[in-house]
A and B are shown apart, each in its own frame.
Chain A
Amino acid sequence: MKIKPILAGTLALATLIGASACGGGDGKTADGKTEVVVWMNSTTGDGKKFWEDAAAAFEKEHADVDIKIEAIQNEDMDGKLQTALQDPASAPDMFLARGGQKLRDVVEAGQVMDLTDKISDEVKTQMATALDTTSIDGKVYGVPQSVLPGGIWYSKDLFKQAGITDTPKTWDEFKADVDKLKAAGITPIALGGKDAWPAAHWYYWFALRECSQSAFDEASNDMKFTNECWVKAGDDVQDLLDLDGFNDGFLTTSAQQGASSSAGLLANHMAAMELMGGWEPGVVRDLTPDQKDMADLGYFTFPEMEGGEGSPTAILAGADAMSIGAWAPQEAVDFLNFISQQEWQEKYAEAFVTIPAAKNAQSAVTNEALKQVLGAYDQASSVSLWLDTVFGQNVGNALNEGVVNMMAGKGNAEDIVKGIEAAAAKG
């Protein structure tokens, strides 16, 4: 009888020690291969398959490398990464990064590899524009896989039903179209306010049109919102609200979860349009009744604001990039260069229904709406990152929340700026 408690105690201790030890390792697998751990955010379907295929193809060429693809749910990614990066032993060698302040935080903590001299020439030439999103102070800290320009996605059928023949070019035309849709008994605009950023995107776009390039850049770089165009953009939001064109209960509607989300409303023809990023076709596809591409999905760029100082062709965009941990082996860089080649960029574009970052792979885009986005992207006078990405989560969230507050009738354009200043004191 004596041996049992001792055994139990030893076992319990061993489990504890074992649990803490399994994160460790020297980057080698049992059979001596170099292990490269990749964290990406596609947990299902074609996206996940893309990563598995790419890993298999790379391992075929490099027999001594073991690529370990780990799918992390998008919403969990930030938190898990935060914890994992505390200890190089548990951290992934390659992980999803979206640029902006968030990437800057990790870079400043010395946890990301400087890739400036490590990326292949193909990446340098073909992704020249996209690399801006992952460059900090002239150094490259990640390789974008796709660019996701924003704009207004709409249902061609519903527009036709309301008697709208051409997509709106100016704000006045846009307002007239909203009235036409309402008259036809159609909800004009879907908005997922519960996630805050979809609402804030309206504010970003208004600011992009109202502010001169220099005023916009000044705010992006120094978080100074002194130019009066930022207040004007707030007034535009008020103007938009007065149209009364959003879905009922937009404040507690989520953006992408299920048929009652804003993307779901568009997918199921319950609303005519939605302001969203370049991921929309893929998201909408998953929310249509038969989970196929939405046949009548169209795209137009954000309308021109009369009297605005911004360029009417300027666009906002996001980028999904992969960064390499400072501790990662050379093989991780090789793998990143490998998947950034034309062949794999084309496959990426197909798997994710998106625009690949490499110019030479963009012919792989077949989705009609995406082709229009691509056109707008190529003609854009400038490409800016989403403001919440630029500012990082702390100030970015405060900015988003300020816009949501305003849409709920609590506060005005000046309160948005005040909220940003308050948030800056916390981080």
Chain B
Amino acid sequence: MSEATTSNARPRSDRARRRFEVGVLSVPALVMFIGFVILPVFMAAYYGFYKWKGFGKPNVNGTFVGLDNYRVILTDPSFQQALGHTLFIAVMSLVIQGPLAILFALLLNQKFKGRGLIRTLIFVPYVVSEVIVGTGWSLMLQPTGAVNAVLAKFGLHGVDWIANPKIAIWTLMFIISWKYIGFAVILMIAGMQAIPEELYEAARVDGAGFWRQQWSITLPLLGPTIRMWAFMSIIGSLQLFDLVYIIWGQYVASTAGTSTMATYMVREGRLANNYGYGSAVAVVIFVISLVIALSYQKFVLNRDLDGAVEGNRGGSGSKPRRKARIRGAAVERTAAAVEAADTMERTAVETIRKGARAAAAPLMAKELEA
């Protein structure tokens, strides 16, 4: 029946049907998005005006306090510390991971035996879930854990890596770098592979050495990739919650000096049962993240994005236009890079899964026998 209607349908009703289909099919997604993303933001803003324990309704069981929650948040030393830690993590992630990732990418972009294996290995930590990473490292970094045991073998006296407030944040930085550098490296490699080989050839003809080539060709042309990666890294840092929550638990993160805005929100909102206050914290985090993200887009990413629009229009060879076109090409390259990274990620995940399955197979066989 449906075949007949389709073949007889005129183009006009065909378009109407398409519109209808799109409309109907996007309803669930829209309902979810509005219900679980947009609405909660406004609800949080509403709850944030109350002192409210989460039972009943805020206007009945809570007290309206206006902007008082926000005053308390901004003057609370614990929040200021949490904000400080978050910004520290955001900046240090860029400073530590950026250069390292580029160097690793340069290395892994060369042709040598076992390159695929090393690429996969460097990507493994990124694929492993935060909970596993957190639990694993926190067990190894205990004062009586594996790390200190190894150090003792070399005659070194280890410290309490996690609990010592002077060291804990650096321990966290180390774990973050270890976990997320793989993603940066893959992104950079993909970016590098999109740089035309001719440029290097031309440079070599001009007598440029290896480092000179990287400095004058790779780095500038990698710009869009780096800027994109930095954006993702900053957003990730602002949201950092799970690693800290797993390693330091619900209570001692601020004692150890590793609390983040998100752990502060959960600690003061949900765990303290102050749902009004917690919602206000959520709004503050939302605003801080929004401001940072928007200004980054405006002042940093926009250079790439503007170029994309102009570049696509094409045009004559006047200087600004040409620049724009190069930028447009750069954006396309970044997009390609992200896509390539995505593919690599999937391949890596698949490889790991296969490996795990292969490793698990004999065990399972044994179990079946038993």
Interface residues of A (CB under 8 A from B): 1-6, 8-9, 12-13, 16, 78-79, 82, 85-86, 102, 105-106, 108-111, 193-196, 248-252, 254, 260, 392-394, 397-398, 400-401, 404-405, 408-410, 422-423, 425-427
Contacts and interface: CB of A to CB of B under 8 A. Distances in A.
A409 B144 CA distance: 21
B55 A106 contact: yes
Contacts, number: 137
A257 to B, nearest CB: 10
B267 A397 contact: yes
B284 to A, nearest CB: 13
Given A426-B72, A426-B272, A194 B143 contact: no
Contact of B273 (A13, A195, A260, A427): A427
Interface string B12-56: 000001001100110110010000000000000000000101111
B271 A393 contact: yes
Q: Is the interface of B mostly helix, strand, loop or mixed?
A: helix
A249 B247 CA distance: 13
Contact of B72 (A1, A394, A425): A425
B250 interface: yes
Contacts of B248: 194, 252
B2 A1 contact: yes
Given A105-B55, A248-B143, A252-B163, A16 B273 contact: no
A79 B271 CA distance: 8
Given A5-B20, A195-B250, A252-B138, 5 more contacts: A1-B2, A85-B55, A109-B55, A249-B144, A426-B69
Contacts of A409: 165
B227 interface: no
Q: Select the residue from A105, A404, A410, A427 with max chain B CB neighbours within 10 A.
A: A427
A105 to B, nearest CB: 5
B251 A400 contact: yes
Contact of B142 (A13, A252, A423): A252
Given A13-B28, A397-B272, A249 B17 contact: no
Interface of B: 2-3, 5-6, 17, 20-21, 24-25, 27-28, 31, 51, 53-56, 61, 69, 72, 76, 78, 138-139, 142-144, 160, 162-163, 165, 247-252, 254-256, 267-268, 270-275, 277
A9 B25 contact: yes
10 contacts: A5-B20, A9-B25, A109-B53, A111-B55, A249-B144, A260-B139, A394-B272, A397-B251, A400-B251, A425-B72
Contact of B28 (A16, A105, A195): A16
